[in-house]
A = this chain, B = another copy of it.
Amino acid sequence: MAINSDMMRGVAEPIILKLLNYKKMYGYEIIKVVNEKTDNAFQWKEGTLYPCLHRLEASGLIESEWQTAESGKPRKYYTLTKKGMAEMAAKVEEWSHFSKTVNVLLFA
């Protein structure tokens, strides 16, 4: 079941950084993985992901590298920078704090 909400705002960045912390990935792959892992609760589209990736790269949190798959399709693989690792940890912690705070108000 899809989540149709403004709440999506702000969580794309920590999620992407977290995924890239495990392994290098390309954009289209990230979309598929996120949608699958959330049972399509998240239904990310290109218009959500690519601008976000570009922002992260412009901020020096991730780096890209073109690589051609066996299929012949060129893919842009992203990796986390050292700065990105620190920012990932910070953003995950921020989410943790934030969600706990909301829970205090909603489940008091």
Contact = CB atoms under 8 A, between A and B. Distances in A.
Interface of A: 1, 3, 5-11, 14-15, 18-19, 34, 37-38, 41-42, 92, 94-95, 97-99, 101-108
A15 B6 CA distance: 14
The number of times this chain is found in the oligomer is 2
Interface SS of chain A: helix, strand, loop or mixed?
helix
A102 B11 contact: yes
A107 B98 CA distance: 15
A9 B11 contact: no
B97 A18 contact: no
A97 B106 CA distance: 13
Contacts of A19: 105
Contact of A38 (B8, B41, B104, B107): B104
Contacts of A10: 5-9
A102 B106 contact: no
